[in-house]
Amino acid sequence: MDGSIQTFEKPVGIAILAMGGQGGGVLADWIVALAEAEGWFAQSTSVPGVAQRTGATIYYVEIMRPQPGRQPILSLMPVPGDVDVVIAAEMMEAGRAIQRGLVTPDKTTLIASSHRSLAVLEKAKPGDGRADAGTVAATATQVARRFLAADMQAMAERSGSVISAALFGALAGSAALPFGRDAFEATIRAAGVGVEGSLRAFAAGFASVSAAPEAKPAQAPAPAIISGGSEAERAELVRAVQRIEQDFPAPSRDMLRHGVRRLVDFQDAAYAHEYLDRVAGLLKLDSAGHGFALTAEAAKQIAVAMSYDDVIRVADLKTRSSRTARVRAEVAAKPDQLVGTTEFFHPRLEEICATLPVAWGLALERSDMWSGLVRKLFERGRRIQTGTLRGFLTLYAISALKPRRRTLLRHQREQAHLAAWLALVAQHAATDGRLGVELLKCRRLVKGYSDTHARGQSKFARVTGAVALLAGREDAAAWIRRLRDAALADEDGTMLEGALATVASLSLPEPVGTTS
């Protein structure tokens, strides 16, 4: 069979890269049990990494067919350039296997799950710190003898199992080992744990690499769904969708539809109309000659800015039934099993004031006595168990403030910040469309709540404040982009400080020459 290992007079090396909870040890045990059941020699070892996406454990298995009169000596660790099969439980782990030299074009079958589980460094970066999985896949195609990839995690979740079972199926489907499917399935049955779910995941993994992919017809975009709420609210939402089709250019419509859905979920249909009004204000400064780039970017960034993270939003999301269902699916809970969730909160005076009506919030901020008392009572870490009635009702009561959001201090401040930002964009977009687009993108700097939000707003103010020094320059847009990228590059703002110093030097007057 094409792709099969042609000779088994030497040991077959199989490296498995998996993180905690993905069943890498179980997969290694299955491979050992499979080989031994077929009369082969087998040995497995593991080198643990750091759990929770800062490093994977490498499990290494060597198997060998018995040779008359010979006793095998099997290796305790994978040797770069001499690994027959590499199994990666996540796409970036496949990339790390390539970096370590475990994957070679003349020898290695690389099997990987195409899903992403973000590393700590990816999550910690203020901007979009995700590594490019496409680059890993393209490299794997070049450096592996065969590269087989599919979303094994999704298969496992649909099957009510774990990813190791789907990867075991992919190994069987790859024909990299000379054992039939029945032998693989018998190994799962012999283990006796979660057999039915594991067999379903195994079958999905097997099919994903052994069958030719079926051509899927192109799907038309899903129409906007108008449902829920009162009749008046549904009518307002219909009118919002109609406004998008009638009043906005085609390049911005998809993003506007997403924005409307997001803001209706965040607040209500009237809030979505406020969003369309703001985008329409910038549309007047845009043109087809520039591909309506300003309008398309405004559709995205204004929607994000208007759906800011506050404690009401957080409480709302944490008490939704859809969230409970997702958590249960992630831990593969059975219908009769109870799942408890503990939420971690650390409220600050600023969040408490922001959740009060404007006058009350300002009064509390200005009162040393009352603010000190509130800090003493509330500023400490809290663990709220939403699986209990008391914990659930606590968050549900906070989420119930949603209809009152427009009257609260946080909303007033967000609206003022939004208005000042859009006024700045409009001021410069009128003469430099590219600069207007870059100023819109600066909203990426502001995210989250509490300290994260405060740091983001500080960086936003410093980057957009530099436009006063750059306006009128042909490269003003490029400089704002550089400043924004510098602000996103690190949390403490060291790179931004350096970039701002460079911008300041650009505006210094030329030194006056002297004459003798």
- Residue burial 115-151, b: 16+ Cβ < 10 Å; e: rest: bebebeeeeeebeeeeeebeebbebbeebbbbbbbbb
As beta bridge partners, residue 57 has 18
Q: Could you tell me if residue 53 is left (phi over 0), alpha (psi between -120 and 50 degrees) or otherwise beta?
A: left
The identity of residue 453, as a single letter, is: H
Residue 126 CA to residue 510 CA, distance in Å, equals: 36
As beta bridge partners, residue 63 has 12, 42
Residues 6+ apart with CB under 8 A from 336: none
For residue 216, what pLDDT band results from cuts at 50, 70 and 90? very low
- Mean pLDDT along residues 338-359: 88
Does residue 159 have a pLDDT over 60? Answer: yes
**What would the two tokens of residue 133 be?**
């999985």
- Mean pLDDT along residues 141-147: 93
Q: Around Cβ 223, how many Cβ atoms within 10 Å? A: 8
- Mean pLDDT along residues 109-138: 78
Q: Which of 164, 155, 153, 170 is nearest to 194 (CA)?
A: 164
Segment 13-63, tens digit of pLDDT: 999 998 877 788 899 999 999 999 999 999 999 887 654 444 578 999 999
Residue 298 CA to residue 321 CA, distance in Å, equals: 32
Domains of the chain, CATH where assigned: 12-210 (3.40.920.10), 221-307 (no CATH)
For residue 151, what pLDDT band results from cuts at 50, 70 and 90? very high
Does residue 339 have a pLDDT over 70? Answer: yes
pLDDT given for residue 215 in this prediction: 38
- What is the helix, strand, coil percentage profile of the chain, to 5? 55, 10, 35
Beta strands 342-345; 382-385: pairing state = antiparallel
Question: Looking at 96-213, which runs of residues are DSSP E strands?
Answer: 109-113, 146-150
**What would the two tokens of residue 474 be?**
């042909």
Residues 6+ apart with CB under 8 A from 428: 435, 436, 439, 467, 471, 476
pLDDT given for residue 441 in this prediction: 94
Sign of CA dihedral 21, 384, 354, 229: positive
pLDDT given for residue 200 in this prediction: 94
